[in-house]
Amino acid sequence: MDDLHIRITGHAGRITFARPKALNALSHPMALAMHQALLDWKDDPRVALVIIDAEGDRAFCAGGDIAAVYHAGRAGDHQLGRTFFRDEYRLNAAIADYPKPIVAFMQGFVMGGGVGVGGHASHRIVGDTTRIAMPESGIGLIPDVGGTWLLSRAPGRIGEYLALTGARMEAGDAIHAGFADIYLPEAQWPELIARLEETGDTALIRGKRPPEAPLAGRDLSAFGGRHLSDIIEALEKAREDEILATLRRNSPLSMAAGLVMVRAARGDTRMQQALSREYRFTARATAESDFLEGVRAQIIDKDRQPAWQAEPSAERVQALLAPLEEDELLWEDAQ
């Protein structure tokens, strides 16, 4: 596959994103190929660990390649999106539960689908160019790919803040928020990768002292509000104009749902529970949310002027998160 290089080098299974001009966006065929490689290597004695990295300086993976989902949804085909999200989430779960170490080297943009790949690895390495975010509320979706699970485990109200704003984290914040583990200057990555290939030994992974984490010192108490309207009111009182400007650009329905989902995920005991909840929303997204309009404005036409229509009521959120009955994302056969 031209977009993805899969091979065994030394003691390492190697997966490299190879479409840097598209910021290594994750397509449906790429997700399927990655999952199959992990399945093939699970019991392969030649593979001691898996390394996931990416070509290019700009991005590890800037998100899912959702143009096909958009065009199908516009044409009335909502199954294509459901299939894409289902298979992507199964990849995310396979990474999180993998019995061998997975080492992710995440440079540049790591957003949405990129977080779903790198953010669930056992060893998550970031550098000076890393910018991690879950910006789905800006395209009318919700933090998915297990994002609500990660956000729910961030300290304090950082999870709510990141879910609603889609703010980008540099290396220090990413480690503080639980989206990464190790800071290492990117110039040192090739040498470490070569040694991991040679030895298959993750004990060789030693990071440097991470940069400061500005999020650690921010007052995000406003994001403890029970409802989205309470959070906005608290931010208005605190005169947080920059944050308010961001929230006013994002989908109200997506923010309301994301808030509920991050908090619900705090009660989950495994990431699959969060993924199943996320799938309830995304399976309905092309037909019943602002998703198509958000993708049109941000990715297709790029006019950055979405006309949000969906009502962000509690009843609407509850309907989008209701069980899918026979279409529910189950895990008995997911691996």
Residue tagged active-site, from 65, 144, 160, 170: 144
Share of the chain above pLDDT 70, in %: 99
Share of the chain above pLDDT 90, in %: 97
Confidence band of 219 (pLDDT split at 50, 70, 90): very high
Q: What pLDDT was estimated at residue 118?
A: 98
Q: Amino acid letter at 227?
A: H
Judge whether 113 counts as a catalytic residue. Answer: yes
Q: What are phi and psi of 66, to 5 degrees?
A: -105, 10
Judge whether 76 counts as a catalytic residue. Answer: no
Cβ atoms of residues 35 and 1 within 8 Å: no
pLDDT digits (tens, 9 = 90+) for 233-266: 999 999 999 999 999 999 999 999 999 999 999 9
pLDDT digits (tens, 9 = 90+) for 102-132: 999 999 999 999 999 999 999 999 999 999 9
Judge whether 136 counts as a catalytic residue. Answer: yes
Q: What pLDDT was estimated at residue 193?
A: 98
Q: What pLDDT was estimated at residue 60?
A: 98
Q: What pLDDT was estimated at residue 1?
A: 82
Strand bridging mode 123-126 / 182-183: parallel
Q: What pLDDT was estimated at residue 334?
A: 47
- Average pLDDT for 182-200: 98
Residue tagged active-site, from 64, 140, 172, 207: 64
Which pTM value belongs to this model?
0.96
Cβ atoms of residues 325 and 84 within 8 Å: no
Residue tagged active-site, from 65, 88, 136, 290: 136
- If DSSP states are collapsed to H, E and C, what string results for the chain? CCCEEEEEECCEEEEEECCHHHCCCECHHHHHHHHHHHHHHCCCCCCCEEEEEECCCCEEECCECCHHHHHHHHCCCCHHHHHHHHHHHHHHHHHHCCCCCEEEEECEEEECHHHHHHCCCCEEEECCCCEEECCHHHHCCCCCCCHHHHHHCCCCCHHHHHHHHCCCECHHHHHHHCCCCEECCHHHHHHHHHHHHHHCCHHHCCCECCCCCHHHHCCCHHHHCCCHHHHHHHHHHCCCHHHHHHHHHCCHHHHHHHHHHHHHHCCCCCHHHHHHHHHHHHHHHHHHCCHHHHHHHHHHCCCCCCCCCCCCCHHHHHHHCCCCHHHCCCCCCCC
Cβ atoms of residues 59 and 114 within 8 Å: yes
- Average pLDDT for 319-331: 94
Judge whether 333 counts as a catalytic residue. Answer: no
Residue tagged active-site, from 113, 116, 146, 147: 113
Confidence band of 157 (pLDDT split at 50, 70, 90): very high
- Name the average pLDDT for the chain: 96
Q: What pLDDT was estimated at residue 335?
A: 47
- Average pLDDT for 4-32: 98
- Average pLDDT for 291-306: 96
pLDDT digits (tens, 9 = 90+) for 283-298: 999 999 999 999 999 9
